[in-house]
A and B are shown apart, each in its own frame.
Chain A
Amino acid sequence: DTEVTQTPKHLVMGMTNKKSLKCEQHMGHRAMYWYKQKAKKPPELMFVYSYEKLSINESVPSRFSPECPNSSLLNLHLHALQPEDSALYLCASSQEGFFYGYTFGSGTRLTVV
């Protein structure tokens, strides 16, 4: 298995809703990442998990809450989002040693109404 799987592919949520994005990989990668990508912009890093521990939080608002239950799973819990949070959310994973590059999932297209 050489893929990063993200679910759901599309999500529409209201500003008072609570939802979660899920990311899964079975490549034995020990680092996992969440990126946010706005239209016509590059992906921007949100969080880095290394060996299931949060190692980088790029000053992301608390309405985004990451969770890494085990080495294969990464969740992003969403609560009280704003319309400007609408974006493509990408998950990635990598082997130990950054020179291998990251493997990206196909993303979750989030729309906040």
Chain B
Amino acid sequence: AQSVTQLGSHVSVSEGALVLLRCNYSSSVPPYLFWYVQYPNQGLQLLLKYTSAATLVKGINGFEAEFKKSETSFHLTKPSAHMSDAAEYFCAVILTQGGSEKLVFGKGTKLTVNP
């Protein structure tokens, strides 16, 4: 069965530093993978998605992620953190069930950005 594992429930970086949030997937077939961000008391916003068209995916707000089949990873990066990036980040994968599809989330990583 497909699933995603996020390594590190909390990540803290300094403003201007590299952001690296880790996500590994388990799947016997190429998965459809997503990164979402959730700001406090808000819904989820799609950052980027991997749908097998390209292994390096660029998203909104300067984020990008690289699909590495050999490492079964889809880590999220941003070269320079901004205070406004502080939020909860979720990696997610599509599962199919009874002919329907559903989006299933990892446990999330809380990003703190220090001045």
Contacts and interface: CB of A to CB of B under 8 A. Distances in A.
Interface of A: 4, 6, 33, 41-43, 45, 48, 50, 55-56, 90, 92, 98-99, 101-107, 109
A106 B102 contact: no
A42 B98 contact: no
Interface in B96-115: 97-108
Interface stretch (B18-26, B38-46, B63-71, B75-83): B38-46
A77 B41 CA distance: 22
A42 B49 CA distance: 18
Contacts of A45: 102-104
Interface of B: 32, 34, 36, 41-46, 49, 51, 90, 94, 97-108
A106 B43 contact: yes
A104 B98 contact: no
8 contacts: A41-B107, A42-B90, A45-B104, A55-B99, A92-B103, A99-B51, A101-B46, A102-B46
A45 B46 CA distance: 17
A90 B49 contact: no
B100 A55 contact: yes
A2 B45 CA distance: 12
A99 B105 contact: no
Contacts of A43: 44, 90, 105
A106 B32 CA distance: 24
Interface of A is mostly: strand
Given A42-B106, A55-B100, A56-B102, A109 B41 contact: yes
Contacts of B97: 56
Given A42-B90, A42-B107, A43-B105, A104 B45 contact: yes
B6 to A, nearest CB: 9
Nearest to B101: A98
Contact of A102 (B51, B99, B100, B103): B103
